[in-house]
Structure formats: structure tokens, C-alpha cells
Amino acid sequence: MDFKKLIDEIPAYDHFLTVDEMDASTLKLAEDYPDLVTVTQEGTSRGGHPIYCLKIGDGPKNAFMFGCPHPNEPMGAMMLEYFSRRLCEDEALRRELGYTWYLIKSIDVDGTKLNEGWFKGPFTITNYARNFFRPVGSEQAEWTFPFTYKNYSWTTPIPETQVLMNIIDRVKPEFMYSLHNAGFGGAYWYVSGDEPSLWDGFYKAAEKQNVPLNLGEPEMVYVTQYAPACYKMTGSKDSYDYYEQSMEHPEAMMSCGTSSDDYASQYGTYTLVAELPYFFSRKIVSDTIMPFTRAEAAIKGEQVNHDQIEQIGKILKPVKPWLTEDNPFPKIVLLSVDKNDASTQAQIDYYKKTEAYQQPCKESEAFDCLDITRFYTLLSWGLSVRAINYAIEHTDIDPQLAKTALEQAQAGFDKLAAELENDIDYSVVPIRSLIGVQLESGMLVADLLRSK
């Protein structure tokens, strides 16, 4: 299929929609196209907000797309905002694609609301990190699917995950698109299985939008790479096996369930994840050889991150009794603090014993290890500031204790934010370009599966 017209007509969005704006648009689409669109409330979030699903088309195969699987990743919601209306407007497109489409713009509506402080800009590292929220793994829609393996078991999917499970069980989709995106770097893809015919199409989709490939380090050191920037989807079994290589009780490192891809695989579903960045630096595509090995860069990055997380832990320790269960902000940070030593050591052990990491380091890999690592650490500082502010507003925390912790956390955030703004020559990738890569990647997979 030729997707040029579909991609070329994506609007030049300059901001992300809030949850209320998404809901209003979803309901309006059903009002505008009552014979084509069905909107169902598939469930309710833990915060009591309805979770809406659009059903469009009547093709013989089912496709399921859901946005905001992590609530700091609203790009997919914007893609669905465009794609859902386009499906209604273009009968030829609907017929040619040949699917019945099930679309959820935001599966984690509560978490998405907690990110809305940066949705309208300014789009800078500092503003993003200041208003960033991401739930701990045990409260993520994407990572609380049931999972039992060796000495570990997870049996408590959260309500948002239960919504996904119910739809997957009901429609048994041939194609599923979990709409993630990265914070910094370049484009890369995860797929359920090796499909070499896809890679060139993915690369061209990114090239058309001037979005570079991410040629640095993978997110997880144990991921299987099919081609540059193209990886096999991972699940919790892979995490367990990785930790088992370096510790007697790998289950101690596990704190959530498995992924949507892992769950849907029981129906033969093929899943795609296209990771695309808000921020870009030219270094992420540089193959310039640095005067050190990949292991040296990776270990240094791990040590820097370890020291920063340790510092955050010391700041939060005196106020921890007031970081109550209803406070969403400190949970993922406190988990990082708790597992900091073991996680760092497992990573360092892997780098030391893996032959590929003894090779000379490219600038792209060094940038991942030494700069992007600090960017993600800044997010922990931002969450810590928000956590303390929440405690001040919602508990009887001692004012002086709170003041000291808040000043220390804010100082840590400000220092690292200033360093990153100074050290990294970055640009903001246009939303339209990101949607273009994400949508075309999805259409390539949908077209491949349709023809099978």
C-alpha cells in the first residue's frame, strides 16, 4: 500500500491533548459518524475516570491500538487523534486496510493527567522533567499482566490492565500496537518476531520525517537485536533470566507482571512498539570512535546514576513516613533507591563479561551511557520534588523537615537540569514528524499481516 497521502496530511500539531480534550474528541467523532463509530466505556481508572474505546470499520481482521501505556508518552494519543478521524473520512483507506480497529487514546488516564503540565510546552528538558510523571512498575498498565515463571508470580493486574486484557481476550487481535515513545535519542522499534521485510520500511519512514535512528545502546542489555534499531519484544521472563545470571534470587529484582505483547501472544497476536524521541542530539547517530571501550562508558554511566539515586535516597529518607500510599510521585524513585546497589552491580557485571562491550565505543553509545543516563536521572529528581510537595499539601509533615528536604531535592534538580541544558546540544522533534514515523510504521505492519 502507498501511505504517502495519509502521512503527508498529518496536521502540524504544536501541543499534546489533555485527557479531557481526548475524551471530548472521541465522543464528538462518534457523534459525527454514528454509522461508522462505536464508543464503549471499557472500564474505569483507579481514579474513577472512564476509559473509552473507539471501534471503527468492519474488516475481517482485528487491530488494537492503545496510547499512553506509560502516561508520559502521549505521542500515540495524538497519532490516534489523527488516525481515528482519517479512518472515518476515507472509506477507501478503511477498505484497503481491511481491519476492524479498536482504539484507546489513553489507557492510563490518571497518570496522563499528572503529565499535563508539560503538554502545552515549552518543550525543554527542564520543563519536561519538572512536570514528568511515570508510575512504578506495579502500577503500570503495560506491565501488570499476569505472569508466573520459576520462583516468581504476579497475579494482580491493575484495572487499566484488566481493560486491555478484556479487549485482547474478546477481539483476539491479529495486530496490536502499544503506542510508546522515548524521551531522548532516535527512532527504534520492537516487534514480536523477525520480519526482515519491515526494516527498510521502518528506516524510510524515519528518514522521510528527518528522524534519525537510535544507534546507541539498547534500553535493556539483554534484548535481541534483529537489525540496527530493530529489536525483539521483551517480557518479564527475559528480565528474570538476565538477573538469574548474576544473583541467587532473581525474583527479588522483580516487582511487576509482564507485558501486553507477552499476554497477547497466546492468540498469535503480532505486536509493534515504535519508540520515538521528543528530544534529539546529533551524537545519537555518530559512529565516531571514542578513546575508551563501551564497557568503560557504560560502567561510568551506571556509577553516575547510582550515586545520584543514592543521593536522592538520602534526601527522601527523613520524609519517607509522610510519603503516603496515595502519593503517586515517589514510588518509582523509592523502588530505584531500594534496588540501586543490586541493579547497578548486575549491570556492571554484565558489561565486564560481555565481549561486545570490550570493543571501542562509538560516540552514539557514549552519548547514551553518559548523557541520556543523566537525563533519565533528572526525571527521578523531578519526581522527588513533586513527591515532597505532595506530602506538604496532603499530610501533617513537620514544616522544617519538609523545607529542608524540598530545598535539597530542588537544588539537586536545578543543578543537574542546568548541566544538561549546558552540556547537550539538542533540538525538539516536531510532533507531526513523530506521528508520521509512528503511523507509517504501524501501517507497514498492518499491511504485512493483512496479506498473510
**Which cell numbers hold the place of 201?**
520500511
Cell numbers that stand for 229 in this block: 534499531
Supply the pLDDT for residue 312: 98
Hey, what's the cell of 348? Answer: 556492571
Task: Give the integer Cα–Cα distance in Å for 132 and 387.
Answer: 12
Report the phi/psi class of residue 115: left, alpha or beta, with left for phi > 0 and alpha for psi in -120 to 50.
Answer: alpha
Neighbours of 92 (CB within 10 A): 7
pLDDT at site 187: 95
**Predicted local distance difference test score (pLDDT) of residue 284:** 87
Distances (CA, A) of 38 to 33, 34, 57: 9, 7, 9
Q: Is the dihedral of CA 152, 155, 161, 165 positive or negative?
A: positive
Neighbour count for residue 368 (Cβ, 10 Å): 26
- pLDDT at residue 184, as a whole number: 85
What is the pLDDT, as a whole number, of residue 137? 95
Residue/partner pairs of 93-96 with CB below 8 Å, 24 or more apart? 93/6, 94/56, 94/57, 94/59, 95/59, 96/1
**Euclidean distance between CA atoms 168 and 383, whole angstroms:** 32
The reported pLDDT for the residue numbered 359 is 97
CA distances (Å), 443 to each of 172, 198, 261, 274, 438, in order?
19, 11, 18, 12, 9
Structural domains of the chain in order of their starting residue, each with its CATH number: 3-281+429-451 (3.40.630.10), 288-425 (1.20.120)
Is there a contact between 368 and 300 (Cβ–Cβ < 8 Å)?
no
Alpha helices by DSSP H, listed for 131-259, are 159-171, 196-208, 236-244
Residue 224: count other Cβ atoms within 10 Å of its Cβ.
Answer: 14
| Angstrom distance (rounded) from CA 436 to CA 202 | 11
Task: Look at the block and give the residue holding cell 522533534.
Answer: 429
Contacts of 268 (CB under 8 A, 6+ apart): 174
Q: Who's near 6: CB < 8 A, 6+ residues apart?
A: 86, 90, 93, 439, 440, 443
- The CA distance from 349 to 344, in Å, is 9
Q: Is 219 exposed, middle or buried (0-12, 13-18, 19+ CB in 10 A)?
A: middle
Cell numbers standing for residue 307: 550515586
What are the residue ranges in the chain where pLDDT is below 50? Answer: none
Question: 216: closest CA among 364, 63, 18?
Answer: 364
SS3 322: helix
Residue 129, CA atoms < 13 Å, CB-side half-sphere: 27
* Per-residue confidence (pLDDT) for residue 138, from 0 to 100: 96
CA angle 189, 195, 198 (to 5 degrees): 60
- Yes or no: say if 167 and 64 are a contact pair by the CB < 8 Å rule: yes
Give the pLDDT score at 183.
86
Rounded distance between C-alpha atoms, residue 197 and residue 195, angstroms: 5
The cell numbers describing 22, all together, are 481526548
Compute CA distances 74 → 229, 418, 421, whole Å.
Answer: 22, 25, 23
Contact 146, 266 (CB under 8 A): no
126 CB contacts (<8 Å, ≥6 apart)?
417, 420, 421
**Nearest one of 364, 143, 151 to 256, comparing CA atoms:** 143
From CA 374, how far away is CA 307, in angstroms rounded?
11
Q: What is the pTM of this model?
A: 0.95
Q: How many helices (H) and strands (E) does the chain have?
A: 17, 16
